[in-house]
A and B are shown apart, each in its own frame.
Chain A
């Protein structure tokens, strides 16, 4: 039985998604202040790790990691998480991912909402 990650195409699918997703968040005025960084290569790696996780791929991030990773971001709230998930959906649609898979991915992203917002 194939996992969601395998069904999506594994690491190659993540690589195809990262640049598209990263471009979208950089152009989104609701959230780009959180992603605009001098270290774009480092940011891209974080995007890759995030996408790997929501695609159901191998990762070792704990809830604590997600809290620690986002704690320093000032003013972060639900609207920002919503915007990220929206951009994620748009990316997946662009890549031709099926709607039910997009929903499954959005659910995984939502499952870490409270950790990201440290509540």
Chain B
């Protein structure tokens, strides 16, 4: 007989009972609604595969890869440790390997944390202390010997200020994660990938591009990195190097104005608004997979724009920076 482990409880499963009904019967208040595998309110997570296919039907490839499933449609044949989705993350101790400024306001941290498994593009919480933490997206690949984060530094920022002024190489920090379903999956290697981000929105997108290339993606990959002005851009050498090495990679930098600094050495630098530039370059997004990263308002507008341009809702991945 299968057993469920949930929230430090052991729950016996009857063969004819879904995970959801078993939890509800045992008195756990699990969010749910349609009980038909459609509304996805009862989404949960497990590391104990294999998960019955019907319990993952309708989920994005990234959700499937992260072990998400619908509790109302899951009738497992084996013991499962399950969690609600926002608990599907653990605490780790990491060591600061490297601190480097990428421009006047963006600080790169490289951390040693060999125990955390993740996908490039997911995010984790960096804890300054027990009460104060900030989420940052992962710009590196699991095969890199470090986890790389790009921190936008605010002078008065409680966590970013601490990271900039106090944190030193060799220090240990607490990380929690990973979370998020904005990452690459290799199910459509010839699909056109469009990636658009503002400021440190480049972090997850940079990781996703490298991940796609490492997994043999042959489709066209076009990354748009945007900032108010050229001083807000960074990693332009690294991005140009990627475009030089891989013929299917194209990089476009978008700035609202050229004030302050002369344009940096990047082939395709456009002055304008990111959303309008993307609309002009890709009015037809049918068949594309799209990764968007930036403020909530910006990303939501881009999502709407790309969806109306023809992309499937399930092919648009959003990483919201708040």
Interface residues of A (CB under 8 A from B): 11, 15, 18-19, 22-23, 26-27, 38, 40-41, 44-46, 48-49, 52, 57-61
Contact = CB atoms under 8 A, between A and B. Distances in A.
Contacts of A11: 57-58
A41 B304 CA distance: 10
Contact of A60 (B34, B308, B313): B34
Interface string B291-307: 00000100010011001
Contacts of A59: 34, 36, 38
A41 B313 contact: yes
A40 B34 contact: no
Interface string B35-60: 11111100000000000000001100
A15 B59 CA distance: 11
Given A19-B313, A40-B307, A52-B36, 13 more contacts: A11-B57, A19-B312, A22-B313, A23-B307, A27-B308, A38-B296, A44-B313, A45-B38, A49-B38, A52-B38, A57-B36, A60-B34, A60-B36
Contact of A38 (B34, B40, B300, B313): B300
A63 to B, nearest CB: 15
**Chain A interface, DSSP helix/strand/loop, else mixed:** helix
B307 A61 contact: no
B35 A60 contact: yes
Contacts of A49: 34, 38-39
Contacts of B300: 38, 40
A107 to B, nearest CB: 21
Contacts of B313: 18-19, 22, 40-41, 44
A-B pairs with lowest CB-CB distance, top 5: A58-B36, A44-B313, A49-B38, A38-B300, A19-B312
B21 to A, nearest CB: 13
6 contacts: A11-B58, A19-B307, A23-B307, A58-B37, A59-B38, A60-B34
Contacts of A58: 36-38
A23 B34 CA distance: 24
Nearest to A51: B38
Contacts of A46: 39
Contacts of B34: 49, 59-61
A53 B213 CA distance: 41
B58 A26 contact: no
B231 to A, nearest CB: 31
B127 to A, nearest CB: 28
Contact of B39 (A26, A40, A45): A45
A20 B300 CA distance: 19
Interface string B191-224: 0000000000000000000000000000000000
A61 B36 CA distance: 10
A1 B312 CA distance: 33
A21 to B, nearest CB: 11
Contacts of B314: 15
Contacts of A44: 313
A23 B309 CA distance: 9
B58 A15 contact: yes
